[in-house]
Chains A and B, each alone.
Chain A
Amino acid sequence: MSRGVSRSGPLPERTVDVAVVGGGVVGAAVARELAGRQVTGCERDGRSLTVALVEARSDVGDGTSKANTAILHTGFDATPGTLESRLVRRGHELLGGYAERAGIPVEPTGAVLVAWTAEELAVLAGLADKAVKNGYRECEVVGADEVYRLVPALGPGALGGLTVPGESIICPWTTTLAYATEALARGADVLLNTRVEGVEHDGGEETVLVTNRGPLRARWVVNAAGLGSGAVDRMFGHERFTVTPRRGELLVFDKMARPLANRIVLPVPGSRGKGVLISPTIYGNVMLGPTAEDLRDHADTSTSEEGFAFLVDKGLALMPALLKEEVTASYAGLRAATEHGDYQVHLDAAQRYLVLGGIRSTGLTSSMALAEHAAGLLAEAGLVTSVRDDLPDPPRMPNIGEAFPRPYMCDDLIRRDPAYGTVVCFCERVTAGEIRDALDSPLPPADLDGLRRRTRATMGRCQGFYCGAEISERLARVEGS
């Protein structure tokens, strides 16, 4: 574990320039961005910003950021003129480029919205116009023949579609990990198992974050606490928005299903009933979902009978052949929905506080743009910074995408290091070398879930029938040491 990561013990005593609350994809992107900046135009001119990423859980990316549909959106269907529309578009561009440098797997599969009713068909042209308003010009309305040519496995009854060639799938886990790893390399602290429970101001320039691990002093605070963003916002005395968790359940089908869905099949957005999508996943599976159900409990990521029944029903109509395949996994993610139609981004210069809340269903895509935007807003409030010129190269993340070479297939690599030829998790073909690397990485996993997000180990069709015991033992060996 690198110096900057801490999971227990006392918090750093020094005052940090910026504390970022919430180590989801948004908070990690913000920490990475700010840790790469230096203060300009004041007495501390030229000094690098000190940044702490403060996360309640034992790992980054363990909240909503781990359980979504993982699409790198073009933003074609956003509401024009919103902050979300602008940041999704910008985020698509920024993350697209960053993914290439950092080795985050992205597959440009493209998407097609499919109309199943006359009403849906009638909406398509309007959606194409809206896409143009959002700055995306590649959409095209196509007939049913073309829809079936693009996705032959679709069930009967498709009337037409709208193609969105720019939609891609991305690895959400590697994205958050890359941001946090780079933030560390740039000198940030990553404080895990650290829950912000209150806020105190000492009258001066500093804010004291009261946490379960003691106080943390910061000159500036960025609230990126996702589902907790509303609560943290209230700690600062605001009553601006309430987060209502909107649960989305998903079914992930066996890799054998992948040829059925080589591109994303999107529902036509409409007022009547929520459609579900079918998407290839970056790990080589196919996913069906999500549902949409408002909850009270901010941590209830359980799956439900009703959710499954709904998805099976939808799936049978959308792609009957998919439902013949085995289900490999199911999960639920909670969208941080609010009563407002847009992201809740508010700056309070006097409090030296910025909230990036209510990032409901596009935050993976917009993460880097939100970070860029945050730096801009903080400058308006007086924290003027510029990008440092002594930055380390971005990390090169281990590839866990199915479409790119993985260690088990690389003869050269195995000859240099036999651990890469020792397959431990058979279904996902994860080698001993990759598990070792994850455990030795600057931001190692805290548990099996964390190891799974770094390597894919045990997330396959057998769910541990063969390798579960072996993997747990490898994990325990490190924990015990």
Chain B
Amino acid sequence: MRLTTDVAVVGGGPSGLTAAAGLAAAGLRVLVLDREREAGGIPRHSDHTGYGLRDLRTLMTGPAYARLLANRALEAGALVRTSAMVTGWAGQRVLDVTTPEGRLRVDARAVVLATGARERPRTARMVPGDRPPGVLTTGQLQNVVHLHRGRVGTRAVVVGAEPVSWSAVLTLREAGCRTVLMTSEHARAESYAAFSVPGRAGLRVPVATATRVVRINGRDAVESVEVEDLRTGERRTVPCDTVVFTGGWVPDNELARAAGLAMDPGSRSPLVDNTLTTSRLGVFAVGNLVHPVDTADVAALDGRHVVRHVQTYLAAPSPAASRTVDQSAARDLPDAAPPSGSGTGPGTSTGGAHGDDEPGDAGGGETGGTFAGAIPLRAEAPFRWVFPGLIRPGAGAPPRRRILLWPAEHRPIARVVVTQDGREIARRTLPWPVSPGRVFRVPSSMLSGADPRGGAITISLA
């Protein structure tokens, strides 16, 4: 069956639902496609409070938040189809979808990709050993416990000490499973600084820092894990019957890659600019798909941010037109450059955003000129990626006026330096630490001194 719509939103998590609500409220025909039986994304099974702070200015549990966002999208007039899995592309903005009612072909004027991110499982982390059941990710654990009321073991080792790891500890506790050890490869636990899952204090879980899991033992069921102290190389065996791999986020980028969108090799996300446009005209990307991973409210606010850019695009669906429309919003960023002959063309704009200049898959697909005139944004170590990967002058600030970066190491003091073409354009010490396992935010106002016709902008730490 063939359907047409103004906007197809792929993924009904916080980012997709929020985008859909805004787009529908603006009078557009919006179709949300989600492969799960219910919309809401990850919060559906994250049964603890901590959702909604920045977007809704309140705190609620994941399931309540998921329901609320789904209802808002519906009330605004969006169609939300669940059990609808987008399996591929049949054209620039045409999607193939599998549903229990049959195959659909959705012909959209614009597409918003909001497919989220997942945790790297044990296999992707290449942890050797036996392969018994009882080795999970937080996502699977919470699915088991909250959605399926299933059982887990009694003694768990949690790999990682990020916010999501504590969420796993909470879920384990609820399921009657004690966390006997948390491990973090970092010298200090990732969420040391500011972590707010209530009840953490009462959890009293030993955290082994600078420690990695090197082997899982047990043929039919987990019996133990072997851990190594990275400082001394010493190894020991920790008896347990459950292992939860947490964090280690990777975006669900299958559709983005299938489209041949330019990708950011650092985050493995589709490359977007401050309007959340990808390298394909009329295809946008929001949420944890483009910054794996931030909290749900931040993902949702991407959804809010993209609304006017989709509207702008639909009003004048050509790259040249959409490039120069909303200058009114361009407070934080350099003004639009008058269309100049050379500038940074699509050929140079697809470079890596994580420091090393590997071509990766960045060149894939027709960039369609959507990135013409945009300035590449790069980040140096200890950052793995920066979002957005491109800044289009004159197109307004990025979501929440923040540049997001993913640190691989802890730094107590964040002296941020922004340079362009060898010239320092801003330097500021930010009042929050650089802490691995959570996004580091830089106000986009730090870019306002950039030359709109200049080359790549680099963010680093002094």
Chain A residues within CB distance 8 Å of chain B? 251, 256, 299, 301-305, 307-308, 324, 326-331, 408-411, 414-415, 418-419, 421-423, 426, 429, 431, 448, 461-466, 468-470, 472-473
Other contacts beyond A326-B120, A415-B102: 14, CB < 8 A: A299-B219, A305-B214, A327-B126, A411-B102, A414-B103, A422-B83, A429-B85, A462-B118, A463-B122, A463-B124, A465-B140, A469-B143, A470-B147, A472-B144
Name the B residues within 8 Å of A328 (CB-CB). Answer: 123-124
Task: Give the bracket for the number of chain B residues in contact with chain A.
Answer: 35 or more
How far apart are A312's CB and chain B's nearest CB, in angstroms?
Answer: 8
Q: List 19 A-B contacts (CB under 8 A).
A: A251-B126, A256-B257, A302-B130, A324-B265, A326-B124, A329-B123, A408-B85, A409-B87, A409-B103, A410-B103, A411-B102, A414-B103, A419-B100, A421-B100, A422-B100, A429-B85, A448-B133, A462-B118, A463-B121
Mostly, the B contact residues are mixed
B236-264 with Cβ < 8 A to chain A: 250, 254, 257
Mostly, the A contact residues are mixed
B249-292 with Cβ < 8 A to chain A: 250, 254, 257, 265
**Which of B98, B123, B148, B360 meets A463, CB within 8 Å?**
B123
Is the Cβ of A421 less than 8 Å from the Cβ of B140?
A: no
Closest to A312 in B: B126
Q: Does B139 contact A (CB under 8 A)?
A: yes
Name the B residues within 8 Å of A251 (CB-CB). Answer: 126
Q: Complex Cα distance A46/B454, Å? A: 89
Q: Complex Cα distance A353/B36, Å? A: 55
How far apart are B357's CB and chain A's nearest CB, in angstroms?
Answer: 14
Name the B residues within 8 Å of A415 (CB-CB). Answer: 101-102
Closest to B360 in A: A324
**Which of B36, B118, B128 meets A302, CB within 8 Å?**
B128
Q: Complex Cα distance A410/B102, Å? A: 8
**Which of B122, B131, B150, B214 meets A472, CB within 8 Å?**
B150
Are A421 and B99 also in contact (CB < 8 A) when A426-B35, A465-B118 are? yes
How far apart are B399's CB and chain A's nearest CB, in angstroms?
Answer: 26
Q: Does B6 contact A (CB under 8 A)?
A: no
Is the Cβ of A418 less than 8 Å from the Cβ of B101?
A: yes
Is the Cβ of A464 less than 8 Å from the Cβ of B128?
A: no
Is the Cβ of B98 less than 8 Å from the Cβ of A464?
A: no
Is the Cβ of B128 less than 8 Å from the Cβ of A423?
A: no
Q: Complex Cα distance A307/B126, Å? A: 11
Q: Does B136 contact A (CB under 8 A)?
A: yes
Q: Complex Cα distance A299/B265, Å? A: 40
Name the A residues within 8 Å of B139 (CB-CB). Answer: 462, 465-466
**Which of A301, A327, A431 meets B124, CB within 8 Å?**
A327
Is the Cβ of B85 less than 8 Å from the Cβ of A464?
A: no
CB 8 Å contact bits of B134-155 with A (1 = contact, 0 = none)? 0011011001100110100000
**Which of A301, A303, A305, A421 meets B98, CB within 8 Å?**
A421
Are A468 and B144 also in contact (CB < 8 A) when A418-B100, A423-B98 are? yes
Name the A residues within 8 Å of B150 (CB-CB). Answer: 469, 472-473
Name the B residues within 8 Å of A331 (CB-CB). Answer: 131
CB 8 Å contact bits of B203-241 with A (1 = contact, 0 = none)? 000000000001100010000000000000000000000
Q: Complex Cα distance A328/B120, Å? A: 9
Q: Complex Cα distance A22/B144, Å? A: 35
Q: Complex Cα distance A410/B98, Å? A: 9
Name the A residues within 8 Å of B143 (CB-CB). Answer: 466, 468-470
Name the A residues within 8 Å of B137 (CB-CB). Answer: 462-465
Q: Does B129 contact A (CB under 8 A)?
A: yes
Name the A residues within 8 Å of B332 (CB-CB). Answer: none
Q: Does B119 contact A (CB under 8 A)?
A: yes
Are A429 and B126 also in contact (CB < 8 A) when A409-B103, A448-B133 are? no
CB 8 Å contact bits of B64-76 with A (1 = contact, 0 = none)? 0000000000000
Is the Cβ of A307 less than 8 Å from the Cβ of B128?
A: yes
Is the Cβ of B85 less than 8 Å from the Cβ of A423?
A: yes
Closest to A415 in B: B102
Q: Complex Cα distance A328/B136, Å? A: 14
Is the Cβ of B128 less than 8 Å from the Cβ of A414?
A: no
Is the Cβ of A408 less than 8 Å from the Cβ of B98?
A: yes
Q: Complex Cα distance A143/B64, Å? A: 64
Closest to B142 in A: A469
Nearest 8 A/B pairs, CB to CB? A463-B121, A469-B143, A418-B100, A465-B139, A303-B128, A469-B144, A411-B103, A468-B140
Closest to A303 in B: B128
